[in-house]
Amino acid sequence: MEECISVFDMLKIGVGPSSSHTLGPWRAAERFLRELRDENIIHNVTKVKVDLYGSLSLTGKGHATDLAIMLGLSGEDPEYIPISNIDKIIKSIKDKNEINLGNENQIPFHFSEDIVFNKNFLPFHANALTFTAHINHDKEYISTFYSIGGGFVVKEERINAKKKIAIKCAFPFPINKATELLDYCTKENKKISEIVYENEKSMRSEEIIHQELIRIWNTMLESMYIGCHSEGILPGGLHVRRRAFDMHQNLIGLANYDSPQTWLEEIRKTEVKFRQILKWVSCFALAVNEVNAALGRVVTAPTNGSAGVIPAVLMYYLVIENHNAGEKEIKQFLMAASEIGSIFKKGSTISAAMGGCQAEIGVSSSMAAAALCELMGGTPEQVLMAAEIAMEHHLGLTCDPVGGLVQIPCIERNTMGALKAINAAELALETDPKNAKVPLDKVVDTMWQTAKDMNNKYKETSEGGLAIAVNMADC
């Protein structure tokens, strides 16, 4: 039996640029600290070494994997750390050759020696990292984690499996496949988002659900706002110029606003011809992923590399389609989107290191298409059709980041995923589900088969595709 997956598992707040290569290793470092505390040995640690394997090693530098591990070992939380503190903490570790382990034990730490990049892959998953703590100079405590995409971290022995099954048993509507979800919607006469809400209520109060969903949306809105108001060159050596700033300036004109919310209201007043809509949606998506590329705070949706798709499509609905929409529609959108993402996670993968970019941009586009379709009045059958259409046209998409950075082609791909999601929703709304030929579950299965057949050099290794056709010198 699969574990239950909450909205707040699929949509996590964290720091860029990658959910699998930044947020996951960060969370793994936090879990390693918890293990040391549980064993009552954290104060006896004299040295820590971290080994990175597979995709984490091959593209880890470009994804700030090493920096995330140091921040995690320092006891910092990616959800709440002030972004302005990141550089200071990293600089202090490098300058002093010391790390304050869990903010409890100051030990020697040599950045260039104690994080080791191993190109070989471990068999369980492409994203592996092993922590080794030396205890009182004569013993070792070793723990291996796997970052499986979307910020999810597991151990091979899955010691928490029983806990996850127990949690799932609390769900009134346990779901693994789209057919099960549709059966619940039909029997209960509920929308997909309403089924999700019932499951969420079995885990937490309505007040907490409301607060956390709105906090997720506010983080998305803020990342769009920051990205649209930040100019310059992105870090990493590719010299990629931010584009959202200039695009936004041309679109917004001389509007007056002083916050993300008043900004949203001003956008509602702008011209909405087809070209402007294309530009606004693209601008929103670019903005989020430029923030992500600069180690800013975004929401994994379902990953950091695809973090711009869902905010861009939801913002499109709020500023173009329905000016009266508010918190009710925002929560509905996020819940519907998350369920589609969880179906892909259970039946396939949301890790580019396992499935290429179809697992990131493809899944995010599918999630956004479904959520938009529901808000536009689509039936559950049409919502699932929207999800299927969006993914069908991302099948086989490779992950080949230039320089191992989540910039080229990753940032632009979010604009494409968002626009495809809107198109997929509109196609589904104009189609009788009885005439559909391809069910969502078949596309999920096909995506997983495609992932397994895909050459590893196209799975976030920077060893194929654009990553070798375009090198750092070209930039």
Query: Average pLDDT, stretch 112-138?
Result: 93
Residues counted in the chain: 475
Predicted confidence band at 119 (pLDDT cuts at 50, 70, 90)? confident
Average pLDDT for 387-416: 95
Q: pLDDT confidence of 1, banded at 50, 70, 90?
A: very low
- Least confident residue range of 161-170, 234-243, 281-290: 161-170
Give the mean model confidence (pLDDT) for residues 143-148.
95
- Distance of alpha carbon 178 from alpha carbon 199, whole angstroms: 15
Which pLDDT belongs to residue 169?
Answer: 56
Q: Which two tokens stand for residue 384?
A: 């699932």
Q: What is the reported pLDDT for 417?
A: 98
**pLDDT per position as a tens digit, 295-329:** 999 999 999 999 999 999 999 999 999 999 999 99
Spatial neighbors of 394 by CB under 8 A, at least 6 apart, are 357, 358, 361, 362, 365, 366, 417, 420
pLDDT at 168: 47
Query: What is the per-residue pLDDT for 62?
Result: 85
Check residue 61 and give its pLDDT. Answer: 87
pLDDT band at 472 (very low <50, low <70, confident <90, very high): low
- Facing residues of 141 across strands? 133
Residue 33 and residue 143: Cα distance in Å, rounded?
10
Predicted pLDDT of residue 158: 59
pLDDT of residue 190: 98
For the segment 197-246, what is each residue's pLDDT rounded down to a tens digit? 999 999 999 999 999 999 999 999 999 999 999 999 999 999 999 999 99
More confident residue, 473 or 439: 439
3-state secondary structure the chain: CCCCCCHHHHCEEEECCCHHHHHHHHHHHHHHHHHHHHCCCHHHEEEEEEEEEEHHHHCCCCCCHHHHHHHHHCCCCCCCCCHHHHHHHHHHHHHHCEEEECCCEEEECCHHHHEEEECCCCCCCCEEEEEEEEECCCEEEEEEEEEEECCEEECCCCCCHHHHHHHHHCCCCCCCCHHHHHHHHHHHCCCHHHHHHHHHHCCCCHHHHHHHHHHHHHHHHHHHHHHHCCCCECCCCCCCECCHHHHHHHHHCCCCCCCHHHHHHHHCCCCCCHHHHHHHHHHHHHHHHHHHHCCCEEEECCCCCCCCHHHHHHHHHHHHHCCCCCHHHHHHHHHHHHHHHHHHHHHCCCCHHHHCHHHCHHHHHHHHHHHHHHHCCCCHHHHHHHHHHHHHCCCCCCECCHHHCCCCCHHHHHHHHHHHHHHHHHHHHCCCHHHCCCCHHHHHHHHHHHHHHCCHHHECCCCCCHHHHCCHHHC
| One-letter amino acid for residue 425 of the chain | A
Cα-only R_g, the chain: 22
Task: List the single range of 114-128, 146-160, 177-191, 217-231 with lowest mean pLDDT.
Answer: 146-160
Kindly state the average pLDDT of the residues 387-410: 95
pTM over 0.85: yes
Q: Virtual CA dihedral for 78, 84, 90, 95, nearest 10 degrees?
A: -160
Kindly report which listed range (164-178, 279-293, 449-463) carries the lowest average pLDDT score.
Answer: 164-178
Whole-number average pLDDT of the chain? 94
Between CA 140 and CA 30 the distance in angstroms is 18
Instruction: Give the range among 18-22, 90-94, 176-180, 188-192 with minimum mean pLDDT.
Output: 18-22
Task: Note the pLDDT tens digit of each residue in 432-465.
Answer: 999 999 999 999 999 999 999 999 999 988 889 9
